[in-house]
Chain A
Amino acid sequence: MALVYIVEDDKTLRAGLGHLLELEGLEWCACEDFADVATAVLAAQPDCVVLDAMLPGTDGRVICRQLRAQSDVPIIMLTCLDSEFDEVMAFNQGADDYLVKPYRPAVLLAHIRAALRRKDAGVCTVVEHNGVALDLGTGQVTYQGRETELTRNEARILGLLIRNAGAVTSRAELMCDLWESDAFIDDNTLTVNVNRLRRALASIGVPEGFVSTKRGAGYLV
Chain B
Amino acid sequence: MNTGTARFTPGSYLRDRAPLLAAGVLGVACLYAMLRIVGLAHPATAALCLYLMLLGGCGLLWGYLRRRRFYSTLAEALDSLEHAYQLPSFVEAPHFLEGRIAYEACDEICHADANDLAALREKARADREFMELWIHEVKTPIAAAKLTLSHLHGSESQRLKQDLERIEFACERALYNARIDSLAGDYAIRDTPLAQLCREACKQLANLLIEMRVTPDVRITESVTVLTDAAWTRFVVKQALSNALKYGAHKITFSACEEHPGTPKGRTVLEIADDGAGIPADEVARVFDRGFSGSNGRREGSSTGMGLYLAAQVCKAMGTGLQIASEEGVGTRVLLAFPHDRSVLELHTCT
Q: Report A's interface with B, CB cutoff 8 A.
A: 10, 12-13, 16-17, 19-20, 23, 78, 80-84, 101-106, 164, 167-170, 172-173, 175-176, 179-180, 182, 184-187, 217-218
Contacts and interface: CB of A to CB of B under 8 A. Distances in A.
Nearest to B250: A186
A13 B206 contact: no
Given A170-B153, A170-B158, A101 B147 contact: no
Interface of B: 136-137, 139-148, 150-151, 153-155, 158, 161, 168, 186, 188, 199, 202-204, 206-207, 210-211, 213, 215-218, 231
B153 A173 contact: yes
Contacts of B154: 167-168, 170, 217
B203 A16 contact: no
B210 A20 contact: no
Contacts of B137: 80
Contacts of B144: 10, 12-13, 16
Contacts of A103: 143, 146
A80 B140 CA distance: 7
Contacts of A20: 147, 150-151
A13 B150 CA distance: 12
Nearest to A216: B155
B148 A184 contact: no
Contact of B155 (A175, A182, A217): A217
B199 A19 contact: no
Contacts of B199: 182, 184
A171 to B, nearest CB: 8
A101 B143 contact: yes
Contacts of A105: 146-147, 150
B210 A23 contact: no
B168 A184 contact: no
A167 B150 CA distance: 13
A98 B213 CA distance: 32
B148 A168 contact: no
Given A168-B153, A176-B207, A179-B202, A16 B148 contact: yes
A10 B153 contact: no
Contact of B213 (A19, A78, A187): A187
Contacts of B146: 102-105
Interface centre among B140, B168, B202, B213 (most CB of A within 10 A): B140
Contacts of A168: 153-154
Contact of B216 (A83, A101, A176, A184): A184
